[in-house]
Amino acid sequence: MILKSIKTAVSRLTAMISAFAVICFISSFAPLKTNGNEVSQEDLFALSKEMALLINEARAEYGLPPLYVVPYLCDKAADRARECIESFDHKRPDGTKYYTIIRNEHENVVNFTYSAENIAAGSPTAEATFNQWKSSTMGHWEAILSPKTTHMGVGVAYEPNSQYGWYWETLFIQTGDTCDGQYLPVRYEIVPESSGDLNGDANVDTFDYVVLLGYIEKTMAGKPVYLNDLQLEAADCFKDGVINENDAKALQRYILGEYKVLPYEF
């Protein structure tokens, strides 16, 4: 019964876009006119986060699952972005292919069966760089929308005295493993006001029920899904430390007035 409710309440877009197995493509722009402002590591991190959000928002529009961001991949993507300052190419400065940065004899932190790389140069904003990839005829957009991909890392580098100034790199991989520190990026953290308030609007209603059903459905299917720690606490309507169908039933009965308080206790 609950499975039927799940499928009804959280219907998803079913259109899928077929994508080429794009390994690497290049997008270059006019050299940047620098204004002398210093760029901090916090600035670069914020830019990489914005790019990750734009990529996952685009994938959602096409009914594709979001990609997990992996800190290790972000570190390697940042290294690749810096390498592009020296050699703006999908080959690394030592002549090896881009993916050797995450696959070599000394380091096998992630196991992957597919990889792709998007690089860009010249733009100081995530949106402008993303739009360049989106309008590219060289496969960048196909790489972003590849149904194969499960995880990504985004890196940004800035060198005012270089040819292009700004350098962007996104590493895409497919893996069946859970990567250390993986997470789904969000634009803002939701802060629930009470048990059952999963969307943080201070009301416990059918909107929260839909969020909970979606979380349970995707968890059962092994699909990417994210609730922050406070949301998970609010979702545990049975207070048994497990988020499952019992919590959905308790929340439903509370919304219908059958239960007077949450969390429900025997």
Q: pLDDT tens digit string along 95-134?
A: 999 999 998 655 678 889 999 999 999 999 999 999 999 9
Amino acid at 129: T
Q: H or E stretch including 154?
A: strand 151-158
> In the structure encoding, which two tokens stand for residue 189, read together?
């953290």
Judged by DSSP in three states, 114 sits in strand
Greater confidence (103 vs 49) lies with 49
- What are the tens digits of pLDDT across the range 126-175? 999 999 999 998 999 999 999 999 999 999 999 999 999 999 999 999 99
What is d(CA 190, CA 206) in angstroms, rounded to the nearest whole number? 17
* Beta carbons of 80 and 98 less than 8 angstroms apart: yes
> What's the predicted TM-score (pTM) here?
0.74
- 159: which 2 tokens? 């060198």
